[in-house]
Amino acid sequence: MHAASIEIAIQTRKGSSMFKAKKTTGVGQAKLATLIAHDVQIAGNLEFSDGLRMDGHVKGNVTGRPGEQTLLVVSDQGSITGNVVAYDIVINGTINGDVTVEHFVELQSNAHVNGNIYYQQLRMDVGASVEGKLTKRDNTLAPVETPRLSSEMASDYSNS
């Protein structure tokens, strides 16, 4: 079986005046080199590079490799119970944990986040929900490391 990579390009344009250059915001082009299928369940932390499409379920932290422009796509079938850190994130599924984004986060209409979101740029579609704080990060801040799972959450995973 050969692994196929999927390319995604999502961009939006900000308005511009005749005196300013046009700014492009959003997710740049990235290869989704890894797919976690809808029937896959992972218990443990996951670190990825390039792009990851999550159709399955992870109980643990999901982290894009530090220093890389990683892309995480959580489909409407996907879920993560743990903290998430990546350069760009597109969410259309469920995340139970804090989300830290170095660049851009898109919350699509089926997105459900039960946790805080730290971001530089945000797009939120009608229907998306967040039970937590939305905090705009200063782009001069150093990347945030993934917080550890609380001992209560970790023991819940070891018992399941």
| Helix and strand numbers, DSSP H then E, in the chain | 1, 20
| pLDDT-derived band at 34, boundaries 50, 70, 90 | confident
Residue 38 belongs to domain spanning: 28-138+149-155
Q: Would residue 97 count as lying in a domain?
A: yes
- Mean pLDDT across the chain: 80
Share of the chain above pLDDT 90, in %: 64
Q: Which residue has the higher pLDDT, 138 or 144?
A: 138
Average pLDDT over residues 41-64: 96
Average pLDDT over every residue of 54-68: 96
Whether the CB-CB separation of 101 and 119 falls below 8 Å is answered with yes
Res. 95: pLDDT tops 60: yes
Q: Is 90 exceeded by the pLDDT of residue 92?
A: yes
Residue 60 pLDDT class (50, 70, 90 cuts): very high
Residue 111 in any domain: the answer is yes
Is 23 inside any structural domain? no
Residue 125 in domain = yes
- Structure-block tokens of residue 36: 């976690």
Task: Tell me whether residue 17 is in a domain.
Answer: no
126 domain residue, yes or no:
yes
**Structure token digits, residue 34:** 């890894």
> What pLDDT is stored for residue 27 in this prediction?
54
Whole-number Å distance between alpha carbons of 17 and 145? 37
Most confident of 11-25, 112-126, 129-143: 112-126
Q: Do the domain assignments include residue 11?
A: no
pLDDT on residue 139: 66
| Contacts of 147 by beta carbon, 8 Å cutoff, 6+ apart | 61, 83, 98
Q: How many domains does the chain have?
A: 1
pLDDT of residue 66: 93
Integer angstrom CA distances of residue 119 from 1, 89, 116: 37, 10, 10
| Residue 99 covered by a domain | yes
